[in-house]
Structure 1
């Protein structure tokens, strides 16, 4: 039986992957988590190299997916050591343990390894990260590929999907301000209209990862670097407009046309997904359909109202 270990199973992408892999009844999936350990998950701090060694030796997975990371650019900027512990050192430890076991590793990286000056970016384009987050993820890519040949870096852009709170994604984190701006007498919500993003639905990414795991299980593992991205370019201002439409509210939005973030961010890091598309791997849910599903599920689960009232 093909056995998959998933590090970071309680996060935004990890939960989507868990739902996708649940359909693979011929596989055994071992989900791990650290800060939010749910029933059926193994508690594991991937910053602990000895714990990683013991886990891999005990579970003996055929493949490991690393979905855990410090992905908040501002946090990485202010605490680069903590970012490095998760985004670099933990990746190296998992890669070393997996290599000893003979397991394939898939590690999630980011479009922020690029400077955003010359999109679209092919997998072999020269990285030039602008901030500590991008630098830590680039170091993590190199740590993985320097440690084991049986591995794949999967670069992804801005993610959104089913959430447990609004702040879990930079897409849904806009919702409170959008709703507040629709209140009578409220001030407009200022939204970035400078940087172009490509919001990508986590269930689509989970589908891509399952396809990659299937190739691994069949003895045709993809190695090196691959990328997957949504194909709808939009700024946060555009995203906010579409969220307001999905919510059915008249939001007051103001476009911020100059970069305003304290941490430098690239302007347009569109990732070329051609390598996976050539393999017949991929799925894209239109943003309007994806965000409506996220908002509906959030309200249905009793986690927050949809409307401004």
Structure 2
């Protein structure tokens, strides 16, 4: 039991992860302030994180105990085509938020990615050398460095490819595979690079546990990582969906050649979290059935 109800500010609150984080923390009856920009639903505060004055005013007004910084541009095509603009959000805004958090005494958890690794030597420990292969991975590595430079006591949580309740199938690199299954046109799907998918509810519960420890006085800082326990290629994910929903998959063939630049196997070591007693994993079959059933 916590001495007080924590006030949590969540950036990217309208996104795939942010929506579930806000939902689960509110279910715990915590005081949650959700921030969004392009998709501002009722109950969320609109703020352009690239506007430093707006962000400064927001954090000064809300005075959160903890900031979960989940906002980022993560779609590869956007990052590739608008790299400088992406850096303003992914890197510069992250550093600014870290500076503000330190100044006002808020704890900070910055969400990062397994794409900071090249995928050649898994499982990766938190202090293993990073070598991002994509511009997206580079912006997230740069964001980690910006955050820890401004606020050395901040926390980084690296997460893998995520899936969960989506507003459109393309919102997740996992759920979009259902569209491939439902379309009878012949399609090749990668059976080369491996992923450790995590359900957004698992990440939200991990964040809850981390913050609960923080609020009890436990020092939680530096880099933490979570990978889903099951390792699957995208082709294997489509086979799971095919089995669950009784959808034909004869039109889908496995591809054994590398596609776009992405890590081959970016599985991350989870021990810094498990040593704290923090571990949440939804079985992929159960998780994907739950979030995709509404789309059938």
TM-score tier (shorter): over 0.9
Please identify runs of 4+ aligned residues in structure 1 that moved more than 4 A: none
Paired positions, count: 291
Instruction: Give the deviation of 1:174 after TM superposition.
Output: 1.3
Map Cα deviations across residues 60-95 of structure 1 (whole Å, 9 max, x no partner): 111100111111123212221122111101101111
Map Cα deviations across residues 224-274 of structure 1 (whole Å, 9 max, x no partner): 00001101111110011111112211122101110122xx11101101111
Q: Check if 1:18 corresponds to 2:16.
A: no
Say whether the 8 Å CA contact 1:160–1:169 is kept in structure 2: yes
Give the aligned partner of residue 61 of structure 1.
Answer: 64
RMSD of Structure 2 on Structure 1 (CA): 1.0
Say whether the 8 Å CA contact 1:197–1:234 is kept in structure 2: yes
Instruction: Describe the SS at the equivalent of 1:211.
Output: helix
1:145 to 125, 148, 161: 148
Give the aligned partner of residue 222 of structure 1.
Answer: 220
Say whether the 8 Å CA contact 1:103–1:150 is kept in structure 2: no
Give the aligned partner of residue 184 of structure 1.
Answer: none
Unaligned runs of 5+ in 1: 182-186
Say whether the 8 Å CA contact 1:213–1:221 is kept in structure 2: no
Alignment of 1:112-191 (within 5 A): 112-181=115-184, 187-191=185-189
Instruction: Describe the SS at the equivalent of 1:153.
Output: strand
Say whether the 8 Å CA contact 2:181–2:248 is kept in structure 1: no
Give the aligned partner of residue 34 of structure 1.
Answer: 37
Instruction: Give the deviation of 1:50 after TM superposition.
Output: 0.9
Alignment of 1:207-218 (within 5 A): 207-218=205-216
Unaligned runs of 5+ in 2: none
Instruction: Describe the SS at the equivalent of 2:157.
Output: strand
TM-score (norm 1): 0.92
- Equivalent-residue separation in structure 2 for 1:221 and 1:209 (angstroms): 14
- Equivalent-residue separation in structure 1 for 2:242 and 2:219 (angstroms): 42
Instruction: Describe the SS at the equivalent of 1:172.
Output: coil
Give the aligned partner of residue 254 of structure 2.
Answer: 255
- Equivalent-residue separation in structure 2 for 1:19 and 1:51 (angstroms): 25
